[in-house]
Structure 1
Amino acid sequence: MTIPVIDFSKLDGEERAKTMAQIADGCEEWGFFQLVNHGVPVELLERVKRICSECYKLEREEGFNSSTPVKLLNDLVQVQSSEKLENVDWEDVFTLTDEDSEWPCKHPEFKETMTEYRHELKKLAEKVMEVMDENLGLPRGYIKKTFNGGEGLENQALFGTKVSHYPPCPHPEMVNGLRAHTDAGGVVLLFQDDKVKGLQILKNGEWIDVQPLPNSIVINTGDQIEVLSNGRYKSVWHRVQATPDSNRRSIATFYNPSLKATIAPAPELMDPVIKEAEKAYPKFVFGDYMSIYAKQKFLPKDPRFQAVGAM
């Protein structure tokens, strides 16, 4: 079983209706799908891969080797424990946002390349959200407008890029690459390693590999898309497995609501007969949800919705 692979270029041709249906199925039945021919230049993707890998090797590998996960794993091995480290991740990570005054990598090509990459990914994210609007029967631009929350910089959607590496782990059975979770925000666009596996999603109680596919962009929906769609598009549990002999690269770009944005099921998707107290999802401010998510990221998501609804 593999997640859907969709040719995004066919959205503008004779196979538009079929492609729209494929994306709808990816959102409703999987929560994850891969886009090929998505419009992001291959030359740029190759540059991103090279520069992020060089950044890790030259500037971050030494720091990871003396990090807390490495120390904790070494301690367990030294005492010959059979336990598993459940509260840490075998991951080196940093995040880029539009507000960054300093870039976390000194590589001479890093800032220019990642600025260009993020520009392309933002265009792709907004096009994907417009497809979701259409498939859900919502006005064009509904998700984007909701995420942007109003006028002014403080109300702009949060657009960030998380650059991760999962270095080789001598005891991958004893630690998670990244613990199982759903994503808090809106739409995630993942440029994952095209050779090293590790990402898995939970479907029908079974963990399924998200297969590496050169130059594809993996799309997944977060908790806020689940709320806006009134549950038609579920955020999906996923995790990263540690591996013994490879350094897996992962570049996840997220388009999230402004912290001040009000999130609720779209009125067009609500049953008017259902009373307020019986609705599956509450109305809330995204910043309030994030304050709960920060403490409960790796716990079941329904209590998060209940908790923010009670605020």
Structure 2
Amino acid sequence: MSLNEANVLVSTYIDEVPTYASHVPVPNVQETVRNNPLKVPERYVRSEEEIQKVLYMPQLSSQVPIIDFTLLSHGNKDEILKLDIACKEWGFFQIVNHGVKIDLMQQMKDVVAEFFEFPIEEKNKYAMPPDDIQGYGHTSVVSETQILDWCDQLIVLVYPARFRKPQFWPQIPEGLKDTIEAYSSEIKRVGEELINYLSLILGLEEHVLIGLHKEVVQGLRVNYYPPCNTPEQVIGLTPHSDASTITIVMQDDDVTGLEIRYKESWVPVTPIPGALVVNVGDTVEILSNGKYKSVEHRAMTNKNKKRTSFVSFLFPRDDAEVGPFDHMIDAQNPKMYKNVTYGEYLRHTLNRKLEGKTQTDAAKIQD
């Protein structure tokens, strides 16, 4: 598809509710476990090589950067430098003192846990349709033979509010919708501030990056990982990078499952109670001409405990053009990425199975 054709395509989404991706319907993992907790169906079984093809280095978990959001907000130069290093060397960091109330975070966890305990017939009232990814179900399934992730999902588009599809916002339990709104509003505040700080470390004026987005779009994906009797055989979420600008994740405090790719090793991101995990998305990699790289990450399962993660994606509007900033290109750093229409890039990513960072090839200038 040419750039002009892509512009025509995505322009149809600007004032309408967007549709992002199609998928193949697959069984519900939570119900699979309820029906037979001891057996893992063949469609979920991974090879040992696929799971362990790089080293597992839990001892590096303590080195994942921790950023104090209050210090950032006060323009602390040391903390801004820490943010620059975190984005350049890790692509992931945890933020503390972000101002999101602990009570609100716990309320979000509680009401979502209650939703996932409802009978499948109730949850399926909000089932994801085959031609979109909002609702309750599974994403990134593109074939009947694909090996599946050990995960069920609930996805809603939260901002801008006109993009919401109310039929996929669960009405049960009471208060879930209001809690999602309150939590997502706080994440929007934190996320837009972080994008402004990214603008600064990219050598731009504070609001330039937000302006490039034309309008920050925000989606929420809840990943629910049931316990697995043989966790060494499955993957909760296949290794991938995010197409977003940034992604903000609330983890369970007592279960580790998120792992990031760091220097050819898998490093678990040990939860810090009350902290939020942030990672750089493909958008920032393209804009920075590869200075800040989106990092592969995956989710692993647990034999005895369920795990839930709350993933907020912040990204540009469909018609925003994304390409390396001019000042990121010089003789030592030639232009590595094409200018792409964001809506085209996002749909290219969402309409394929998760496969590391291979989707970024679509934006790279080929030799």
TM over 0.5: yes
- What TM-score bracket applies, with the shorter chain setting the length? 0.7 to 0.9
Instruction: Decide whether the 8 Å contact of 2:247 with 2:314 is kept in 1.
Output: yes
Instruction: Deviation per CA, 1:151-196: give whole Å up to 9, x if none.
Output: xxxxx33211111110101121222100000111211000011111
Change (3 A) 1:105 1:89: farther
Aligned to 2:98: 38
Could you tell me how far apart the structure 2 residues matched to 1:105 and 1:176 are? 30
Could you tell me how far apart the structure 1 residues matched to 2:165 and 2:342 are? 21
Please state how far the C-alpha of 1:33 moved relative to its aligned partner: 0.3
Aligned to 1:101: 166
Amino acid at match of 1:281: Y
Aligned to 2:69: 8
Aligned length: 280
Verify: 1:213 aligned to 2:272, yes or no: yes
1:147 to 200, 213, 216: 213
Verify: 1:264 aligned to 2:330, yes or no: no
Instruction: Deviation per CA, 1:7-35: give whole Å up to 9, x if none.
Output: 2112244x811111111111111000000
Instruction: Decide whether the 8 Å contact of 1:221 with 1:234 is kept in 2.
Output: yes
Q: Kindly report which structure 2 residues correspond to 1:173-212, keeping only aligned pairs within 5 A, or say none.
A: 173-212=232-271
Helix, strand or coil at the partner of 2:236: strand
Instruction: Decide whether the 8 Å contact of 1:182 with 1:297 is kept in 2.
Output: no
Q: Kindly report which structure 2 residues correspond to 1:70-89, keeping only aligned pairs within 5 A, or say none.
A: 87-89=147-149
Q: Kindly report which structure 2 residues correspond to 1:12-23, keeping only aligned pairs within 5 A, or say none.
A: 12-13=73-74, 16-23=76-83
Identity of aligned residues (%): 32
Could you tell me how far apart the structure 2 residues matched to 1:46 and 1:88 are? 30
Could you tell me how far apart the structure 1 residues matched to 2:184 and 2:293 are? 25
Helix, strand or coil at the partner of 1:190: strand
Could you tell me how far apart the structure 2 residues matched to 1:301 and 1:218 are? 20
Helix, strand or coil at the partner of 1:196: coil
Structure 1 length-normalised TM: 0.83
Change (3 A) 1:28 1:96: same
Please state how far the C-alpha of 1:290 moved relative to its aligned partner: 2.2
Please state how far the C-alpha of 1:242 moved relative to its aligned partner: 1.5
Verify: 1:49 aligned to 2:109, yes or no: yes
Amino acid at match of 1:211: T
Helix, strand or coil at the partner of 2:117: helix
Change (3 A) 1:20 1:274: closer
Q: Name structure 1 gaps, 5 residues minimum.
A: 65-84, 149-155
Q: Name structure 2 gaps, 5 residues minimum.
A: 1-59, 125-144, 159-163
Instruction: Decide whether the 8 Å contact of 1:230 with 1:281 is kept in 2.
Output: yes
Which of the two has greater strand per residue? 1
Aligned to 2:357: 301
